[in-house]
Structure 1
Amino acid sequence: MSEAIALIDYGAGNLHSVLNALQAAGARQVTVTADPELVRGARRIVLPGVGSFRACAQGLKGIPGLVEALEERVLQHGVPFLGICVGMQLLATRGLEHGSTPGLGWIAGEVHRIERTDPAIKVPHMGWNDVEPTAHPDGAGLIEGGEAYFLHSYVFQPENGHDIAAMTDHGGGLVAAVARDNIMGVQFHPEKSQRYGLAFLSRFLEWDPA
Structure 2
Amino acid sequence: MKIVIINYGAGNIQSIKFAIKRLGYEAILSNVVTEIQHADKVIFPGVGEASSAMHKLRDSGLDKLIPTLTQPVLGICLGMQLMCHSSEEGNTTGLGIFDVDVVKFDSTVKVPQIGWNQITNLKSELFNSIEEKEHIYLVHSFYAPLCDETIAECSYGVDYSAALQKDNFYGTQFHPEKSSDVGQRILENFLKM
Q: How does 1:37-186 map to 2 (within 5 A)?
A: 37-64=34-61, 66-72=62-68, 74=69, 78-98=70-90, 100-117=91-108, 121-134=109-122, 136=123, 139=124, 141-143=125-127, 144=130, 145=132, 146-157=134-145, 161-186=147-172
Q: Give the ranges of 4+ consecutive aligned residues of structure 1 lying more than 4 Å apart after TM superposition.
A: none
Q: Is the 8 A contact 1:131 1:176 kept in 2?
A: yes
Matches of 2:107 and 2:190, distance apart in 1 = 33
**Amino acid aligned to 2:82:** L
Partner-residue secondary structure (3-state), 1:38: helix
Count of matched residue positions in the alignment of Structure 1 and Structure 2 = 189
Give how far 1:115 is off. Answer: 1.5
Partner-residue secondary structure (3-state), 2:48: coil
Q: Which deviations, in whole Å up to 9, do the C-alpha atoms of 1:114-166 show, x marking residues without a partner?
A: 1233xxx31111100101134x3xx2x312331000000000136xx220011
Matches of 2:162 and 2:23, distance apart in 1 = 21
Give how far 1:19 is off. Answer: 0.5
Matches of 2:80 and 2:154, distance apart in 1 = 15
Where does residue 182 of structure 2 map in the other structure? Answer: 196
- TM-score (norm: length of structure 1): 0.85
Matches of 1:58 and 1:108, distance apart in 2 = 20
Give how far 1:26 is off. Answer: 3.0
**Amino acid aligned to 1:195:** D
Matches of 1:107 and 1:125, distance apart in 2 = 22
Q: Which deviations, in whole Å up to 9, do the C-alpha atoms of 1:9-57 show, x marking residues without a partner?
A: 00001011010011112323x1100011111111110000001111111
For structure 2, the 5+ residue unaligned runs are: none
For structure 1, the 5+ residue unaligned runs are: none
Q: Identity of aligned pairs, percent?
A: 32
Matches of 1:71 and 1:85, distance apart in 2 = 17
- TM-score (norm: length of structure 2): 0.92
